[in-house]
Protein backbone atom coordinates (compact mmCIF):
# COMPACT_ATOMS: atom_id res chain seq x y z
CA UNK A 1 0.00 0.00 0.00
CA UNK A 2 1.46 3.43 -0.94
CA UNK A 3 2.48 5.66 1.94
CA UNK A 4 -0.13 8.29 1.11
CA UNK A 5 -2.89 5.66 1.45
CA UNK A 6 -1.45 4.39 4.72
CA UNK A 7 -2.03 7.87 6.09
CA UNK A 8 -5.79 7.27 5.81
CA UNK A 9 -5.49 4.09 7.87
CA UNK A 10 -3.59 5.89 10.62
CA UNK A 11 -6.04 8.79 10.65
CA UNK A 12 -8.89 6.33 11.26
CA UNK A 13 -6.82 4.56 13.90
CA UNK A 14 -6.02 7.87 15.61
CA UNK A 15 -9.74 8.53 16.07
CA UNK A 16 -11.05 5.07 17.01
CA UNK A 17 -8.31 3.55 19.18
CA UNK A 18 -7.74 6.41 21.68
CA UNK A 19 -11.51 6.75 22.08
CA UNK A 20 -11.82 3.04 22.90
CA UNK A 21 -8.92 3.20 25.37
CA UNK A 22 -10.47 6.23 27.08
CA UNK A 23 -13.83 4.43 27.34
CA UNK A 24 -12.20 1.32 28.81
CA UNK A 25 -10.21 3.41 31.27
CA UNK A 26 -13.30 5.29 32.49
CA UNK A 27 -15.27 2.04 32.76
CA UNK A 28 -12.51 0.45 34.84
CA UNK A 29 -12.18 3.48 37.15
CA UNK A 30 -15.95 3.56 37.75
CA UNK A 31 -16.25 -0.20 38.33
CA UNK A 32 -13.32 -0.34 40.76
CA UNK A 33 -14.15 2.99 42.45
CA UNK A 34 -10.69 4.36 41.76
CA UNK A 35 -8.53 1.45 40.72
CA UNK A 36 -9.16 -1.58 42.90
CA UNK A 37 -6.61 -3.76 44.69
CA UNK A 38 -4.24 -4.04 41.72
CA UNK A 39 -3.80 -0.26 41.67
CA UNK A 40 -4.22 0.77 45.29
CA UNK A 41 -2.98 -2.40 47.00
CA UNK A 42 0.50 -2.98 48.39
CA UNK A 43 3.03 -4.36 45.89
CA UNK A 44 5.00 -7.44 46.86
CA UNK A 45 8.17 -8.49 45.04
CA UNK A 46 8.40 -12.26 44.70
CA UNK A 47 11.67 -12.34 42.73
CA UNK A 48 14.45 -14.02 44.72
CA UNK A 49 17.32 -11.80 43.60
CA UNK A 50 15.89 -8.42 42.64
CA UNK A 51 14.97 -5.54 44.96
CA UNK A 52 12.52 -2.65 44.60
CA UNK A 53 14.91 -0.28 42.81
CA UNK A 54 15.96 -2.80 40.17
CA UNK A 55 12.36 -3.95 39.82
CA UNK A 56 11.36 -0.37 38.95
CA UNK A 57 14.21 -0.16 36.42
CA UNK A 58 13.07 -3.43 34.86
CA UNK A 59 9.55 -2.07 34.46
CA UNK A 60 10.88 1.14 32.91
CA UNK A 61 13.08 -0.86 30.57
CA UNK A 62 10.07 -2.93 29.45
CA UNK A 63 8.14 0.24 28.57
CA UNK A 64 11.14 1.63 26.68
CA UNK A 65 11.38 -1.68 24.84
CA UNK A 66 7.76 -1.30 23.78
CA UNK A 67 8.58 1.92 21.92
CA UNK A 68 12.20 1.13 21.02
CA UNK A 69 11.34 -0.12 17.54
CA UNK A 70 9.65 3.19 16.72
CA UNK A 71 12.77 5.05 17.88
CA UNK A 72 14.79 3.52 15.05
CA UNK A 73 11.99 3.18 12.47
CA UNK A 74 10.61 6.70 12.70
CA UNK A 75 12.76 8.04 9.80
CA UNK A 76 11.03 5.64 7.41
CA UNK A 77 7.85 7.67 7.88
CA UNK A 78 9.41 11.00 8.83
CA UNK A 79 11.15 11.35 5.47
CA UNK A 80 7.77 11.81 3.81
CA UNK A 81 6.95 14.83 5.99
CA UNK A 82 6.48 18.19 4.27
CA UNK A 83 8.78 19.89 6.76
CA UNK A 84 11.51 18.78 9.13
CA UNK A 85 9.67 19.60 12.36
CA UNK A 86 6.76 17.17 12.18
CA UNK A 87 8.48 14.58 14.33
CA UNK A 88 9.39 16.81 17.27
CA UNK A 89 5.89 16.77 18.77
CA UNK A 90 6.41 13.07 19.46
CA UNK A 91 9.01 14.03 22.05
CA UNK A 92 6.07 15.19 24.18
CA UNK A 93 3.36 12.88 22.86
CA UNK A 94 5.05 9.50 23.32
CA UNK A 95 5.48 9.74 27.13
CA UNK A 96 1.80 10.67 27.49
CA UNK A 97 0.65 7.91 25.14
CA UNK A 98 2.98 5.39 26.77
CA UNK A 99 1.74 6.22 30.26
CA UNK A 100 -1.92 6.19 29.29
CA UNK A 101 -1.45 3.01 27.27
CA UNK A 102 0.16 1.28 30.26
CA UNK A 103 -2.36 2.48 32.85
CA UNK A 104 -5.45 1.41 30.93
CA UNK A 105 -4.66 -2.35 30.88
CA UNK A 106 -3.75 -2.22 34.58
CA UNK A 107 -7.08 -0.63 35.49
CA UNK A 108 -9.00 -2.98 33.17
CA UNK A 109 -7.29 -6.03 34.71
CA UNK A 110 -8.23 -4.76 38.15
CA UNK A 111 -11.81 -4.19 37.00
CA UNK A 112 -11.98 -7.75 35.69
CA UNK A 113 -11.18 -9.03 39.19
CA UNK A 114 -13.93 -6.89 40.69
CA UNK A 115 -16.57 -7.96 38.15
CA UNK A 116 -15.61 -11.55 37.31
CA UNK A 117 -13.47 -12.58 40.28
CA UNK A 118 -10.01 -13.08 38.74
CA UNK A 119 -7.18 -10.94 37.35
CA UNK A 120 -7.16 -11.25 33.57
CA UNK A 121 -4.69 -9.11 31.67
CA UNK A 122 -5.04 -10.78 28.25
CA UNK A 123 -7.36 -8.39 26.40
CA UNK A 124 -9.07 -10.92 24.06
CA UNK A 125 -10.08 -12.91 27.15
CA UNK A 126 -11.41 -9.74 28.81
CA UNK A 127 -13.42 -8.85 25.70
CA UNK A 128 -14.85 -12.37 25.61
CA UNK A 129 -16.24 -11.87 29.14
CA UNK A 130 -18.22 -8.75 28.21
CA UNK A 131 -21.96 -9.28 28.43
CA UNK A 132 -22.80 -6.88 25.60
CA UNK A 133 -22.29 -8.22 22.07
CA UNK A 134 -21.95 -4.65 20.81
CA UNK A 135 -19.16 -3.99 23.31
CA UNK A 136 -17.41 -7.16 22.21
CA UNK A 137 -17.59 -6.12 18.57
CA UNK A 138 -16.49 -2.48 18.90
CA UNK A 139 -13.71 -3.11 21.42
CA UNK A 140 -12.49 -6.14 19.46
CA UNK A 141 -12.52 -4.18 16.20
CA UNK A 142 -10.64 -1.32 17.83
CA UNK A 143 -7.91 -3.62 19.16
CA UNK A 144 -7.65 -5.35 15.80
CA UNK A 145 -7.18 -1.97 14.13
CA UNK A 146 -4.60 -0.98 16.75
CA UNK A 147 -2.67 -4.21 16.20
CA UNK A 148 -2.63 -3.84 12.42
CA UNK A 149 -1.50 -0.21 12.64
CA UNK A 150 1.15 -1.05 15.21
CA UNK A 151 2.62 -3.84 13.10
CA UNK A 152 2.71 -1.66 9.98
CA UNK A 153 4.26 1.30 11.80
CA UNK A 154 6.74 -0.68 13.88
CA UNK A 155 7.53 -3.69 11.72
CA UNK A 156 6.37 -4.61 8.23
CA UNK A 157 6.87 -1.29 6.42
CA UNK A 158 10.41 -0.77 7.72
CA UNK A 159 11.44 -4.38 7.18
CA UNK A 160 10.16 -4.16 3.60
CA UNK A 161 12.14 -0.98 2.95
CA UNK A 162 15.35 -2.53 4.25
CA UNK A 163 15.01 -5.85 2.43
CA UNK A 164 14.14 -4.26 -0.91
CA UNK A 165 17.31 -2.19 -0.57
CA UNK A 166 19.37 -5.37 -0.18
CA UNK A 167 18.00 -7.02 -3.31
CA UNK A 168 15.81 -4.60 -5.32
CA UNK A 169 15.80 -6.78 -8.46
CA UNK A 170 14.13 -9.73 -6.71
CA UNK A 171 12.21 -8.23 -3.79
CA UNK A 172 9.64 -5.44 -3.72
CA UNK A 173 7.57 -4.02 -0.87
CA UNK A 174 4.77 -6.54 -1.35
CA UNK A 175 7.06 -9.59 -1.43
CA UNK A 176 8.99 -8.39 1.61
CA UNK A 177 5.72 -7.93 3.50
CA UNK A 178 4.75 -11.52 2.66
CA UNK A 179 8.14 -12.70 3.95
CA UNK A 180 7.81 -10.97 7.32
CA UNK A 181 4.18 -12.13 7.61
CA UNK A 182 5.22 -15.77 7.20
CA UNK A 183 8.06 -15.29 9.69
CA UNK A 184 5.63 -13.80 12.23
CA UNK A 185 3.51 -16.95 12.07
CA UNK A 186 6.53 -19.27 12.30
CA UNK A 187 7.86 -17.55 15.46
CA UNK A 188 4.49 -18.20 17.25
CA UNK A 189 4.04 -14.79 18.91
CA UNK A 190 1.00 -16.05 20.83
CA UNK A 191 3.41 -17.96 23.05
CA UNK A 192 5.12 -14.68 23.92
CA UNK A 193 1.97 -12.84 24.98
CA UNK A 194 0.12 -15.71 26.68
CA UNK A 195 1.29 -14.48 30.10
CA UNK A 196 2.44 -11.17 31.51
CA UNK A 197 5.83 -12.46 32.67
CA UNK A 198 6.64 -13.77 29.20
CA UNK A 199 5.67 -10.51 27.52
CA UNK A 200 7.75 -8.40 29.93
CA UNK A 201 10.71 -10.74 29.46
CA UNK A 202 10.39 -10.40 25.68
CA UNK A 203 10.19 -6.60 25.79
CA UNK A 204 13.21 -6.37 28.10
CA UNK A 205 15.19 -8.68 25.83
CA UNK A 206 14.02 -6.74 22.77
CA UNK A 207 15.45 -3.52 24.20
CA UNK A 208 18.88 -5.18 24.50
CA UNK A 209 19.06 -5.17 20.71
CA UNK A 210 17.22 -1.94 19.90
CA UNK A 211 19.24 0.22 22.32
CA UNK A 212 22.62 -0.39 20.63
CA UNK A 213 21.02 -0.02 17.18
CA UNK A 214 19.59 3.39 18.13
CA UNK A 215 22.93 4.39 19.67
CA UNK A 216 24.85 3.67 16.47
CA UNK A 217 22.30 5.57 14.37
CA UNK A 218 22.34 8.64 16.63
CA UNK A 219 26.12 8.71 16.92
CA UNK A 220 26.63 8.31 13.17
CA UNK A 221 24.08 10.88 12.00
CA UNK A 222 24.29 13.56 14.68
CA UNK A 223 27.80 13.32 16.15
CA UNK A 224 29.98 12.03 13.31
CA UNK A 225 28.25 13.22 10.13
CA UNK A 226 26.70 16.33 11.73
CA UNK A 227 23.40 15.61 9.92
CA UNK A 228 25.11 15.92 6.52
CA UNK A 229 24.45 13.17 3.97
CA UNK A 230 24.85 12.94 0.22
CA UNK A 231 21.52 11.36 -0.65
CA UNK A 232 22.61 10.61 -4.24
CA UNK A 233 25.51 8.51 -2.94
CA UNK A 234 23.14 6.41 -0.85
CA UNK A 235 21.78 4.93 -4.09
CA UNK A 236 25.15 4.06 -5.62
CA UNK A 237 26.46 0.52 -5.49
CA UNK A 238 30.05 1.58 -4.71
CA UNK A 239 29.48 5.10 -3.41
CA UNK A 240 31.11 6.85 -0.49
CA UNK A 241 28.92 4.88 1.93
CA UNK A 242 30.11 1.49 0.62
CA UNK A 243 32.72 1.37 3.41
CA UNK A 244 34.66 -1.94 3.61
CA UNK A 245 33.26 -4.46 1.11
CA UNK A 246 29.83 -2.96 1.71
CA UNK A 247 29.99 -3.29 5.51
CA UNK A 248 30.56 -0.59 8.11
CA UNK A 249 32.55 -2.64 10.64
CA UNK A 250 32.64 0.34 13.02
CA UNK A 251 28.86 0.12 13.45
CA UNK A 252 29.06 -3.63 14.10
CA UNK A 253 31.82 -3.13 16.68
CA UNK A 254 29.83 -0.42 18.48
CA UNK A 255 26.71 -2.58 18.43
CA UNK A 256 28.64 -5.50 19.91
CA UNK A 257 30.10 -3.28 22.65
CA UNK A 258 26.58 -2.31 23.71
CA UNK A 259 24.96 -5.72 23.35
CA UNK A 260 27.49 -8.34 24.52
CA UNK A 261 27.61 -7.16 28.19
CA UNK A 262 23.84 -7.65 28.34
CA UNK A 263 23.90 -11.32 27.31
CA UNK A 264 24.34 -12.66 30.89
CA UNK A 265 21.31 -10.67 32.00
CA UNK A 266 19.26 -12.04 29.10
CA UNK A 267 20.31 -15.56 30.06
CA UNK A 268 19.32 -15.08 33.70
CA UNK A 269 16.00 -13.58 32.65
CA UNK A 270 15.29 -16.75 30.68
CA UNK A 271 16.64 -19.07 33.40
CA UNK A 272 16.42 -17.37 36.85
CA UNK A 273 18.46 -20.10 38.51
CA UNK A 274 21.51 -19.37 36.35
CA UNK A 275 24.42 -17.73 38.21
CA UNK A 276 25.86 -14.72 36.35
CA UNK A 277 27.25 -12.71 39.25
CA UNK A 278 26.19 -9.07 39.36
CA UNK A 279 26.01 -8.67 35.57
CA UNK A 280 22.22 -9.01 35.69
CA UNK A 281 22.04 -5.52 37.21
CA UNK A 282 22.87 -3.70 33.97
CA UNK A 283 20.20 -5.77 32.24
CA UNK A 284 17.55 -3.95 34.29
CA UNK A 285 18.32 -0.77 32.32
CA UNK A 286 19.40 -2.56 29.13
CA UNK A 287 18.20 -0.01 26.60
CA UNK A 288 19.90 2.95 28.29
CA UNK A 289 23.11 0.98 28.80
CA UNK A 290 23.24 -0.34 25.24
CA UNK A 291 22.37 3.04 23.77
CA UNK A 292 25.02 4.93 25.78
CA UNK A 293 27.83 2.42 25.22
CA UNK A 294 27.14 2.24 21.47
CA UNK A 295 27.04 6.01 21.10
CA UNK A 296 30.37 6.47 22.86
CA UNK A 297 32.06 3.47 21.19
CA UNK A 298 31.05 4.47 17.67
CA UNK A 299 32.12 8.05 18.25
CA UNK A 300 35.56 7.04 19.58
CA UNK A 301 36.18 4.60 16.71
CA UNK A 302 35.16 7.05 13.99
CA UNK A 303 36.81 10.07 15.58
CA UNK A 304 40.13 8.66 16.79
CA UNK A 305 40.72 5.11 15.49
CA UNK A 306 39.30 4.75 11.97
CA UNK A 307 37.72 7.94 10.50
CA UNK A 308 35.03 7.54 7.86
CA UNK A 309 37.01 9.49 5.24
CA UNK A 310 34.99 10.24 2.09
CA UNK A 311 31.73 9.45 3.88
CA UNK A 312 32.07 12.80 5.69
CA UNK A 313 30.80 15.58 3.42
CA UNK A 314 31.14 19.32 3.96
CA UNK A 315 27.61 20.12 2.80
CA UNK A 316 24.49 18.00 2.74
CA UNK A 317 23.38 16.97 -0.76
CA UNK A 318 19.61 16.55 -0.81
CA UNK A 319 17.04 15.93 -3.56
CA UNK A 320 15.62 19.05 -5.15
CA UNK A 321 12.53 20.44 -3.45
CA UNK A 322 11.09 21.60 -6.81
CA UNK A 323 7.92 19.77 -7.74
CA UNK A 324 8.87 18.97 -11.32
CA UNK A 325 12.54 18.67 -12.10
CA UNK A 326 13.93 16.47 -14.84
CA UNK A 327 17.58 15.74 -15.51
CA UNK A 328 19.39 13.04 -17.45
CA UNK A 329 19.73 10.69 -14.49
CA UNK A 330 17.26 11.88 -11.89
CA UNK A 331 13.54 12.49 -11.83
CA UNK A 332 11.41 13.90 -9.08
CA UNK A 333 7.69 13.36 -8.86
CA UNK A 334 5.33 15.13 -6.50
CA UNK A 335 1.96 13.58 -5.66
CA UNK A 336 -0.53 14.44 -2.92
CA UNK A 337 2.03 16.70 -1.31
CA UNK A 338 4.48 13.80 -0.93
CA UNK A 339 7.65 13.84 -2.98
CA UNK A 340 8.98 10.60 -4.37
CA UNK A 341 12.56 10.46 -5.49
CA UNK A 342 13.36 8.05 -8.30
CA UNK A 343 16.89 7.45 -9.45
CA UNK A 344 18.36 5.05 -11.98
CA UNK A 345 20.54 2.46 -10.27
CA UNK A 346 23.37 0.86 -12.21
CA UNK A 347 24.53 -2.48 -10.85
CA UNK A 348 28.25 -2.99 -11.37
Average pLDDT over residues 320-340: 41
Distance (Å, whole) CA 126 – CA 103: 16
Residue 294 has pLDDT above 90, yes or no: yes
For the chain, the average pLDDT equals 80
Residue 200 has pLDDT above 80, yes or no: no
Q: What local confidence, expressed as pLDDT, does residue 195 receive? A: 65
Q: What local confidence, expressed as pLDDT, does residue 199 receive? A: 66
Residue 325 has pLDDT above 60, yes or no: no
- If pLDDT is split at 50, 70 and 90, which confidence band does 339 have? very low
Task: Express each pLDDT in 50-106 by its tens digit.
Answer: 667 777 787 777 777 777 777 777 777 777 777 665 556 666 666 777 777 778 888
Range of weakest confidence among 62-66, 225-229, 344-348? 344-348
Integer CA distances (angstroms), 304 to 10, 131, 195, 196, 250, in order: 44, 66, 47, 45, 12
Q: What local confidence, expressed as pLDDT, does residue 266 receive? A: 83
Task: Express each pLDDT in 113-153 by its tens digit.
Answer: 989 988 888 888 899 999 999 999 999 999 999 988 888 87
Task: For 331, list phi and psi in degrees, rounded to 5.
Answer: -145, 140
- If pLDDT is split at 50, 70 and 90, which confidence band does 261 have? very high
Residue 23 has pLDDT above 90, yes or no: yes
State which of 67-76, 151-160, 331-340 shows the largest mean pLDDT. Answer: 151-160
Q: What local confidence, expressed as pLDDT, does residue 63 receive? A: 74
Neighbouring CB atoms inside 10 A of 9's CB total: 15
State which of 21-25, 35-39, 47-51, 195-199 shows the largest mean pLDDT. Answer: 21-25
Amino acid sequence: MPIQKLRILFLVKAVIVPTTFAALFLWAVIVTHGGGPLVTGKAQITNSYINTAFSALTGLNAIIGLFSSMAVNMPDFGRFSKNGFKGYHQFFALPVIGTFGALTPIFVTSAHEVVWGNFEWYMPAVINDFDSRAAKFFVGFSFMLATIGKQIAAGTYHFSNDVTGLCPKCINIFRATLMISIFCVICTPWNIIKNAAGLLAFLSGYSCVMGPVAGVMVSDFYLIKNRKLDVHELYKDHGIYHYTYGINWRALAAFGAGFVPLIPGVSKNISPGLYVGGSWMIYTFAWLFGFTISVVTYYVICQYISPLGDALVDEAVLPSQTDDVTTDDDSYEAKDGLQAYTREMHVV
